[in-house]
């Protein structure tokens, strides 16, 4: 059956590749359809900070059918993708969602972008995000909030808000985000997508605007588990330009993805699901996955997840400390927006005062305070010790099981503009930041819908066991239907 | 003022730029002043968002060499910290430095103390860090040259164990000689490759606690440091005896007026908010590697100097070598043929230092490399080039660099060993000066030297006087 042209962009990554290889459509058709869909959805959603229409069209023209490598080898030749706007693109504006970088054009590509380009991907533009990845709603952007394609009255989650939204409304089949405390997984869950936060050091951080350097990882957001594994396989691996990148050999995950979970030992924490603040639909989703994996031949174990209640406090200290110094370079001297003041110090404070948003300033202050003389031991050092405990405790727990299931967030997405205190916002990261604190991989994937909104579940595994997570999620995916998903909807009427 | 009632205590912190090819955390050229401003830069040393540091192994190796040369223990696991402060010469808003786990420590360096006895100056720590960019000020504007940003820097901190400005001066001179000799740094003061800070305090004799200290920043030379320390000792005594209060502060040295002045009081001191650099995991320093570095290191500086006396060098020559920072150069030149050390020393003292004078460019500013110098000296020694050719060759190597053989060949400096060519030249000279040849035949032998001169001139620098002379005499005999 021929595919309607306007639906090209809503195809999965694998379908897109197959279509290009079969000659059902060309890369130019695909990019044209993607840009058309993006243009129609953007006024309502605001997923993109900067679009590269001309660049994408020019790149697509180079991918004639003959140019697409034949065979099944995963690649992205002619496939449009979007990048979170803290991932550096050579010669193309990269703002990190901040006014202070509103005119910043990096002279280099991030390592992951080099890999995507080498694989043939076409970058259609840069996706909206919470400023410097600080936020879990997508509202802390200097370029306006991103709205949830499932229901534009709600937030997308964050901080990879635009990456999630543009994939969810069918603008592109895949996008890259970054995850410091849940910034891929949480918007993935709120938008019905699959989102991977890999083992710390698995994906190069080179060329990624840093939030918490010891916590950040780049990862894919896609509509299917297989697509996610395909993209992850392309960006993972050792990078000598990132000293925290691991030299551990990398085996592609896609080859094992259909192997199922038979013989897996999968754990969950029943008590956690009963705890206060956990939405029933989110707890039920975990229970549903427990039942599915049991049916698929996995052994299920009940465990008590350690340290969860200490996570938010420790995480927000470490992250703010690192962010406070990572952002010190934005002083208006060499690049970025400058607000000239009476003297040097005045220029610094005016530039930073006007360039940074409220949440960024809050974290710079928290981090500077926690690192300062007399407070270091009580805050940073203690938090670092808690982090060490996370690593050892979770390594111990995950040495005995293949995966642990837990909710992605306690609660569903809030309405746009509904105020919450910083602490209330931070508490939303309680389940996701565990993986960042422990350095372990975690995957969010959709398991169904509730009240017209998708509900996701999260699985964590031991170091380098991304493959187990994909096998689990792929097993579950076969039982899941997401009715009326935005990517399957027709292009909205009206608009331009 | 009666200084004798007080005991002076001085500690010294020295920063040196390491002589690596590339920078501390990126692969930019580490030659801040040899290339136009802001050309040896990349996203890493510009501090662009997303750029990440990668440790330069050669910088760590030179740090280990320094630590070993200063009798320090080398730590087998080190890490870096971020030292946070904002200034336009600091591109990231923090400097990657070391605080908790320096590369080395607990070392010493021997000097002759004020009492004439050998004295060990204890070294507290040797650590690695990165340099800042260079600021210069033009009217209302400030200019930033990022070339120096990220240059590898080593800090060497002593315990407060020196008792006078003289001891402090002797320490830094000796330290400099050792670092230059071992090739750790070129330590060119005028280029800021070695920067010295002294901490000074005085306390009444017999006191168990040190007095209030002042830190004297960045003196332009070692004698300035000594003057500044001596001035501070007098100032402290004056303040104490007039019932005043000393403040812990940072002071600068005003050489024109021979006095120090306040730069920064303790209240203005930065809180650097040190914490472990998350972009660099701890670095394991393999003890086997340290051993290997130690084994590959040259004889210790002092043993080497003693060895030169045994080689028959005069104390005056050794002094000249030392003054010209040429001991390390000599050692490298003679590395594969120590028995030739006296020959190389002679050529350095006689020819190379003369070039330093005539070009107004010190040896370490020149393009002359030890291997090229060695080869040039050997070419002369083996008669492959003549004395004049040697001087020309040395001059070229000194100004422009290059390999000796190649430059000698390119400039046709090899002596003509082909007798045919010399004989041909003699024939031509004879043909053009038939009258002189006739005079010679008539017994006026003095014209022989004129003929020799003309032949030499015709052959140019290729001419070896001994060969030409012999062939000329033969030709005259047969003429």
Q: Which residues of A touch B146 (CB under 8 A)?
A: 334
Residue-level pLDDT at B221? 82
For B41, name the nearest residue in chain A, comparing CA atoms only: A107
Q: When comparing pLDDT for B467 and B9, which is higher?
A: B9
In the DSSP assignment, the letter for residue B162 is B
Residue A286 has pLDDT above 80, yes or no: yes
Minimal CA–CA distance to B22: which of B62, B58, B65?
B58
The Cα–Cα gap between A423 and A368 comes to 18
Residue A495 has pLDDT above 50, yes or no: no
pLDDT band at A315 (very low <50, low <70, confident <90, very high): very high
The Cα–Cα gap between A464 and B370 comes to 51
Q: Which two tokens stand for residue B425?
A: 């030249």
Q: Which two tokens stand for residue A389?
A: 């405990």
Residue-level pLDDT at B397? 95
Query: CB contact, 8 Å: B262 with chain A?
Result: no
Residue-level pLDDT at A406? 98
Residue B254 has pLDDT above 80, yes or no: yes
The Cα–Cα gap between A155 and A44 comes to 12
Which residue has 């410097």 as its token pair? A132
Mean pLDDT for A125-135 is 98
Contacts of A341 (CB under 8 A, 6+ apart): A347, A348, A349, A350, A351
Of all residues in chain A, the percent with pLDDT exceeding 90 is 89
pLDDT band at A1 (very low <50, low <70, confident <90, very high): very low
First vs last C-alpha separation in chain B: 90
Enumerate the domain spans of chain A: 5-263+407-488
Burial class (CB in 10 A: 0-12, 13-18, 19+), A396: exposed
Mean pLDDT for A436-459 is 97
The Cα–Cα gap between A444 and B444 comes to 109
A386-421 pLDDT, tens per residue? 999 999 999 999 999 999 999 999 999 999 999 888
pLDDT band at B1 (very low <50, low <70, confident <90, very high): very low
- Please state which of the ranges A419-428, B245-254, B456-465 shows the lowest mean pLDDT: B456-465
Query: CB contact, 8 Å: B38 with chain A?
Result: no
Mean pLDDT for B395-401 is 94
The Cα–Cα gap between B290 and B66 comes to 11
Minimal CA–CA distance to B424: which of B395, B462, B396, B387?
B462
Q: Are A23 and A59 in contact (CB under 8 A)?
A: no
Residue-level pLDDT at B269? 74
Q: Which residues of B touch A87 (CB under 8 A)?
A: 50
Residue-level pLDDT at A421? 86
B124-149 pLDDT, tens per residue? 999 999 999 999 998 888 999 999 99
Minimal CA–CA distance to A493: which of A163, A186, A43?
A43
How many DSSP H helices and E strands does chain A contain? 16, 13
Mean pLDDT for B293-318 is 89
Hey, what CATH topology would domain A5-263+407-488 get? Amidase signature (AS) enzymes (3.90.1300)
Residue B233 has pLDDT above 60, yes or no: yes
The Cα–Cα gap between B52 and B48 comes to 9
In angstroms, the separation between the Cα of residue B62 and the nearest Cα of chain A is: 21
What residues does A81 pair with on adjacent strands? A123, A174
B204-214 pLDDT, tens per residue? 998 889 999 99
pLDDT band at A493 (very low <50, low <70, confident <90, very high): low
pLDDT band at B417 (very low <50, low <70, confident <90, very high): confident
Contact A107 B43 (CB under 8 A): yes
Count how many residues are written for chain A.
Answer: 496
pLDDT band at B3 (very low <50, low <70, confident <90, very high): very low
Q: Which two tokens stand for residue B115?
A: 């009492």
Nearest to A325 among B51, B93, B271 (CB): B93
Q: When comparing pLDDT for B470 and B88, which is higher?
A: B88
Contact A108 B91 (CB under 8 A): no
Mean pLDDT for B238-243 is 92
Q: Are B127 and B97 in contact (CB under 8 A)?
A: yes
Measured CA angle at B127 (ends B124, B130), to 5 deg: 145
The Cα–Cα gap between A365 and A359 comes to 10
Mean of the per-residue pLDDT values for chain B? Answer: 92
Q: Which residues of A touch B54 (CB under 8 A)?
A: 240-241, 243
Residue-level pLDDT at B4? 52
- Count CB-CB contacts under 10 A for residue A93: 17
Mean of the per-residue pLDDT values for chain A? Answer: 94
Sheet holding B275-276, edge to edge: B94-97, B81-84, B275-276
For B283, name the nearest residue in chain A, comparing CA atoms only: A243
Residue A212 has pLDDT above 80, yes or no: yes
The Cα–Cα gap between B91 and B132 comes to 8
How many DSSP H helices and E strands does chain B contain? 17, 16
Residue A203 has pLDDT above 90, yes or no: yes
Residue-level pLDDT at A425? 85
Mean pLDDT for B60-64 is 98
pLDDT band at A6 (very low <50, low <70, confident <90, very high): low
In the DSSP assignment, the letter for residue B131 is P
Pairing of strands A217-222, A194-197: antiparallel
Contacts of A230 (CB under 8 A, 6+ apart): A13, A14, A74, A254
B172-206 pLDDT, tens per residue? 999 999 999 999 999 988 889 999 999 999 999 98
Q: Is B476 helix (H, G, I), strand (E, B) or coil?
A: helix
Q: Which residues of A touch B280 (CB under 8 A)?
A: 243-244
Q: Is B362 helix (H, G, I), strand (E, B) or coil?
A: coil
A238: phi then psi, degrees, rounded to nearest 5 = -70, 140
pLDDT band at B328 (very low <50, low <70, confident <90, very high): confident
Which residue has 């960042």 as its token pair? A436
Contacts of B476 (CB under 8 A, 6+ apart): B437, B440, B448, B451
Residue-level pLDDT at B220? 73
Residue-level pLDDT at B476? 86
Nearest to A206 among B52, B94, B273 (CB): B52
Q: Which two tokens stand for residue A403?
A: 């995966």
Burial class (CB in 10 A: 0-12, 13-18, 19+), A1: exposed
Nearest to A334 among B46, B51, B281 (CB): B46
Q: Which residues of A are catalytic?
A: 84, 159, 183
Mean pLDDT for A340-344 is 92
Q: Which two tokens stand for residue B476?
A: 């005259």
**Chains A & B: contacts with CB separation below 8 Å:** 100
Nearest to B279 among A94, A243, A376 (CB): A243
With a CB-CB cutoff of 8 Å, which residues 183-212 of chain B face chain A? none
pLDDT band at A496 (very low <50, low <70, confident <90, very high): very low
Q: Which residues of A touch B94 (CB under 8 A)?
A: 325, 328
Buried b / exposed e along B238-262 (16+ C-beta atoms within 10 A): eebeeeeebeebbbbbeeeeebbee
């Amino acid at each position: 059956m021929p595919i309607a042209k306007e639906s090209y962009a809503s195809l999965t990554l694998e379908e897109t590749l197959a279509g290009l290889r079969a000659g059902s459509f060309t890369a130019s058709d695909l990019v044209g359809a993607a840009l058309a869909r993006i243009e129609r959805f953007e006024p309502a959603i605001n997923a993109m900070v900067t679009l590269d229409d001309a660049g994408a069209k020019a790149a697509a023209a180079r991918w004639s059918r003959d140019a697409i490598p034949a065979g099944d080898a995963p690649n992205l030749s002619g496939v449009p993708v979007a990048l979170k706007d803290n991932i550096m693109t050579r010669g193309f504006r990269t703002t990190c969602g901040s006014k202070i970088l509103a005119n910043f054009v990096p002279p280099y590509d991030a390592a992951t972008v080099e890999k995507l380009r080498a694989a043939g991907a076409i970058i259609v533009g840069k996706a909206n995000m919470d400023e410097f990845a600080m936020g879990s709603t997508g509202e802390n952007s200097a370029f306006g909030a991103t709205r949830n394609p499932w229901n534009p009255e709600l937030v997308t989650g964050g901080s990879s808000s635009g990456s999630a939204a543009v994939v969810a409304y069918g603008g592109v089949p895949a996008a890259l985000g970054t995850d410091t405390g849940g910034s891929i997984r949480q918007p993935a869950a709120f938008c019905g997508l699959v989102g991977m936060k890999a083992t710390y050091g698995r994906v190069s951080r080179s060329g990624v605007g840093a939030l918490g350097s010891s916590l950040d990882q780049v990862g894919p957001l896609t509509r299917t588990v297989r697509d996610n594994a395909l993209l992850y396989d392309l960006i993972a691996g050792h990078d000598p330009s990132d000293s925290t990148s691991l030299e551990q050999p990398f085996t592609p995950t896609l080859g094992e993805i259909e192997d199922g979970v038979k013989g897996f030992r999968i754990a969950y924490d029943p008590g956690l699901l009963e705890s206060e603040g956990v939405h029933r639909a989110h707890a039920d989703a975990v229970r549903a996955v427990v039942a599915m994996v049991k049916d698929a031949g996995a052994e299920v174990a009940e465990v008590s997840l350690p340290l969860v209640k200490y996570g938010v406090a420790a995480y927000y200290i470490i992250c703010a400390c690192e962010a406070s110094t990572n952002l010190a370079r934005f002083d208006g001297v060499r690049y970025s927006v400058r607000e000239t003041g009476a003297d040097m110090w005045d220029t610094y404070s005016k530039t930073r005062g006007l360039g940074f948003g409220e949440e960024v300033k809050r974290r710079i202050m928290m981090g500077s305070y926690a690192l300062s003389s007399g407070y270091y031991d009580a805050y940073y050092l203690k938090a670092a010790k808690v982090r060490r405990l996370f690593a050892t405790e979770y390594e111990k727990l995950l040495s005995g099981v293949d995966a642990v299931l837990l909710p992605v967030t306690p609660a569903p997405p809030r309405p746009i503009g509904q105020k919450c205190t910083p602490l209330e916002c931070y508490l939303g990261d309680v389940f996701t930041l565990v993986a960042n604190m422990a350095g372990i991989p975690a995957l969010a994937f959709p398991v169904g819908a509730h009240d017209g909104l998708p509900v996701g579940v999260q699985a964590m595994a031991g170091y380098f066991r991304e493959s187990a997570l994909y096998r689990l999620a792929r097993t579950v995916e076969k039982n899941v239907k997401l009715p009326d998903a935005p990517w399957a909807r027709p292009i909205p009427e009206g608009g331009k | 003022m009666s200084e004798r009632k007080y005991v002076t205590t001085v500690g010294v912190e020295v920063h040196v730029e390491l002589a690596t090819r590339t920078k501390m955390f990126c692969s930019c050229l580490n030659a801040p002043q040899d290339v136009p401003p802001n050309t040896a830069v990349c996203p890493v040393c510009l501090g662009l968002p997303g750029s990440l540091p990668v440790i330069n192994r050669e910088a760590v190796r030179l740090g280990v060499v320094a630590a070993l040369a200063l009798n320090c223990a080398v730590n087998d696991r080190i890490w870096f910290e971020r030292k946070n402060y904002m200034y336009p010469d600091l591109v990231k808003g923090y400097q990657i430095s070391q605080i908790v786990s320096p590369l080395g420590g607990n070392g010493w360096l021997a000097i002759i103390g004020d009492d004439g006895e050998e004295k060990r100056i204890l070294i507290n720590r040797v650590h690695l860090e990165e340099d800042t960019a260079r600021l210069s000020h033009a009217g209302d504007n400030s200019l930033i040259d990022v070339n120096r940003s990220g240059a590898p820097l080593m800090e060497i901190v002593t315990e407060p164990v020196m008792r006078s400005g003289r001891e402090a001066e002797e320490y830094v001179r000796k330290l400099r000689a050792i670092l230059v000799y071992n090739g750790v740094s070129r330590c060119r003061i005028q280029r800021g490759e070695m920067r010295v800070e002294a901490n000074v305090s005085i306390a009444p004799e017999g006191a168990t606690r040190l007095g209030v200290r002042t830190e004297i920043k960045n003196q332009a030379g070692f004698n300035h440091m000594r003057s500044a320390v001596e001035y501070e000792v007098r100032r402290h005594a004056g303040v104490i005896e007039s019932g005043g209060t000393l403040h812990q502060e940072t002071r600068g040295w005003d050489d024109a007026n021979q006095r120090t002045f306040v730069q920064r009081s303790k209240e203005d001191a930065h809180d650097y908010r040190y914490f472990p650099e998350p972009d660099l995991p701890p670095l394991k320093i393999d003890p086997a590697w340290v051993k290997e570095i130690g084994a590959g290191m040259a004889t210790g500086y002092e043993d080497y100097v003693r060895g030169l006396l045994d080689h028959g060098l005069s104390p005056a020559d050794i002094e000249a070598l030392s003054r010209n920072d040429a001991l390390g150069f000599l050692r490298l030149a003679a590395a594969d043929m120590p028995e030739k050390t006296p020959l190389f020393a002679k050529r350095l003292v006689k020819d190379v230092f003369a070039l330093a004078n005539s070009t107004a460019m010190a040896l370490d500013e020149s393009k002359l490399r030890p291997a090229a110098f060695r080869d040039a000296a050997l070419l002369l020694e083996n008669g492959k080039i003549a004395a004049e050719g040697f001087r020309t060759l040395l001059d070229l190597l000194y100004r422009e660099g290059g390999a000796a053989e190649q430059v000698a060949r390119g400039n046709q400096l090899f002596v003509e060993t082909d007798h045919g060519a010399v004989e041909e030249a003699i024939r031509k000279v004879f043909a053009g000066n038939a009258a002189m040849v006739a005079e010679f035949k008539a017994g006026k032998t003095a014209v022989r030297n004129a003929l020799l001169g003309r032949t030499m001139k015709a052959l140019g620098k290729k001419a070896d006087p001994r060969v030409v002379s012999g062939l000329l005499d033969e030709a005259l005999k047969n003429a």
